[in-house]
Amino acid sequence: MSQNFALEIESIVSRVQPIRLEVLESEQHFREELDHVYVGNRQSARNLIHYLSLRRHDIRELQEDLGRLALSSLGRLESHVMATLDALMALLHKIAGKNWQGRAIEETFAEFDSGSALLEKHTVESLGEAPPNRNVRIMVTMPSEAADDPILVRNLLDRGMNIMRVNCAHDSAAEWLRMVENLRAAQKETGKACKIAFDLAGPKLRTGPVSPSPGIIRWKPVRNELGQVTRSAYLTFCSENYSSEDETIAIPVKGSIFRHAQAGHTIELTDTRGRTRTLLVVEVSRSSCVCTNDRTGYVIQGTNLQLYRGKELLYEDEVGALPEVENSISLSVGDDLLLTQVEVPGKPAENEEDEVDYQPAQIGCSLSAVFSDAKPGERIFFDDGKIEGVIRAVHKDDAQPRLAVKITNAANGTAKLRAEKGINLPDTKLNISALTPKDREDLEFATKYGDLVSLSFVRRPEDVAELIRELDCLGATQTGIILKIENRPAVEALPRILLRAMGRPATAVMVARGDLGVEIGFERMAEVQEQILWICEAAHVPVIWATQVLESLVKRGLPSRSEVTDAAMSGRAECVMLNKGPHILLALDFLCDVLCRMEGHQTKKSALMRKLSVAEMAWK
């Protein structure tokens, strides 16, 4: 052995040895958490702590040095940290011609084979057995129609669904029960296994209602490329309780203009834009009259209608009550917005040109804790990040608490904010429980009919402890837990959240990328997603890859290129979630195919060298 080589080996040993000792001692820092861990998860919890201790160091230079010697670069040690470090130390000492005592006999850690075996064991306990043709499970969110469409549920099960996800934020216990019954019947027919997961709604942080706009009816003819009318617009003036299945536009009237009209008469009106429209009566019945028109028009309640025979005015009427239209608030960069309690209806800004009478736009917030916990300078996002603002002032001592927000970014310059849109406060420490009163009610049903419950908006270990207490009170000791990681506090507290959840036999983690992307920033989404995968592998906890998987395919029947890559990458998790949509069966087939193909190329972080047909073709 050359002197330089010996010095290089000695240098590597001197860097690995203190890291190994620190990893061994790291368990003392988490002694209290380890005391709460289920005995079957104890080895996994210790491995997680070892991994966290190792990742406190920047070992990139060490990895490069190890790679040059064709030794383990420590890049795939997640499931067996101490086994990898010990094997590396033993090999380094052997190369140097020295003896290495290694670990004490009583020390037992996750070994190379046992680490992967523990992850698989915990995956089976939480998510069920893998199907015969692939290792990755598929979870499918149930649409409302699954309650009354047993054929849909049967097809989903037959085509590869391994876990039925019931979203407790939608429908009711009656519909959930019918979904469960449809699945049980399908299982009996097919002989296939399928877990049921109930997704608790959690504390809803959403915008409140917006004051509706007056109802309006619009009609327009069909024109060709030259602007020529190819089909007139058809309108039916009728009584306010009139119903029809034809394709005409129904306009209720207060009076009875239809009783005075005859074919060939005309109805004149001035629409909302001040434009005169003359409609030709073509058909009359006892409760309606049908008219045609070759121009676009708009009418609202109270629009005056005049019936003519030639130039003779026969009858006057007006448009009756129209259903109100859901309104929205347009927001641009620099605009002000007041966030109020949900009881106060939202409305657009008023008198924007008048400094004295100006009233900023306002909208309600469904979670009252926001007004006591938010602070000036903290960021706020609306509608999946389409609108971004910063809190300028907090008024929490008034009779009507509110937040004054300045809009700092809006999609396409101006974006519309509507009711029931998500609100994210990534910088705000919200002192709320992840379990709502509704969640506690739903838990009783979920534990009776389901195998797993998903905890939404978990932020801290105490949220997990609270769920475990509720499950224990219900006697649901075998019900598995899915932790939905969807906010910044959950990412930062993930190790301790996992350790607390490992007090149960069956635990899984869902990477809920919708809210998570907004909370941590889309530019960090890929990085954080990877970190969650690594940490969970170290804990031997299965991961569910969720949110917008093949969304374009599910909704429109054709995937985007980036979605295909995302679906391929999802095979590094133990389960992939598909959301509901009109093309869910097509998406399920597509995902099954992608996952089966990728299993021969990739497992977790390791590339697998399956025989490549392109390599074979190069020799022809």
State the DSSP string of 200-223.
Answer: ---S--BB--BPPBPPEEEE--EE
Q: What is the mean pLDDT of residues 94-116?
A: 72
Residue 448 has pLDDT above 90, yes or no: yes
Q: Which is higher by pLDDT, 94 or 354?
A: 94
Average pLDDT, the chain: 91
Calculate the alpha carbon distances from 486 to 454, 476, 549, 574 in Å: 12, 25, 16, 18
DSSP string spanning 23-37? Answer: HHHGGGGGHHHHHTS
> Which residue's structure tokens are 């230079």?
61
192 and 328 Cβ atoms separated by less than 8 Å: no
pLDDT, one tens digit per residue, over 379-423 is 999 999 999 999 999 998 777 899 999 999 999 899 999 999 999
Terminal C-alpha separation, the chain: 44
In the three-class reduction of DSSP (H, G, I as helix; E, B as strand; rest coil), residue 120 is classed as helix
Residue 347 has pLDDT above 60, yes or no: yes
- CB burial class (10 A; 0-12, 13-18, 19+) of residue 46? buried
* 3-10 long-range Cβ contacts below 8 angstroms, 24+ apart: 6/96, 8/65, 8/69, 9/69, 9/92, 9/95, 9/96, 10/96
- CB burial class (10 A; 0-12, 13-18, 19+) of residue 17? middle
* Triad 239, 243, 249: Cα angle to 5°: 80
The DSSP H or E segment spanning 463 is helix 461-473
pLDDT, one tens digit per residue, over 6-46 is 788 888 888 989 999 899 889 888 988 898 899 889 999 99
Q: What is the mean pLDDT of residues 550-578?
A: 93
Structure tokens given for 432 = 């709320």
**Neighbour tally for 321: CB within 10 Å:** 11
Residue 335 CB contacts under 8 Å (≥ 6 apart), including other chains: 349, 360, 361, 406, 407
The DSSP H or E segment spanning 1 is none
CA gap 100, 365 in Å, rounded:
63
CA gap 137, 163 in Å, rounded:
8
Q: What was the pLDDT predicted at 613?
A: 61
Q: What is the mean pLDDT of residues 131-152?
A: 95
DSSP β-ladder status, 304-309 and 266-270: antiparallel
Amino acid letter, 234: Y
Beta strands in 17-136 (DSSP E): none
Q: Which range among 131-145, 293-307, 505-519, 592-606 shows the weakest confidence by mean pLDDT?
A: 592-606
Q: Which range among 185-189, 237-241, 288-292 shows the weakest confidence by mean pLDDT?
A: 237-241
CA gap 424, 405 in Å, rounded:
13
pLDDT, one tens digit per residue, over 251-274 is 999 999 999 999 999 999 999 999
Q: What was the pLDDT predicted at 105?
A: 47
Q: Which range among 204-218, 288-302, 345-359, 558-572 shows the weakest confidence by mean pLDDT?
A: 345-359
Residue 555 has pLDDT above 90, yes or no: yes
Residue 313 has pLDDT above 50, yes or no: yes
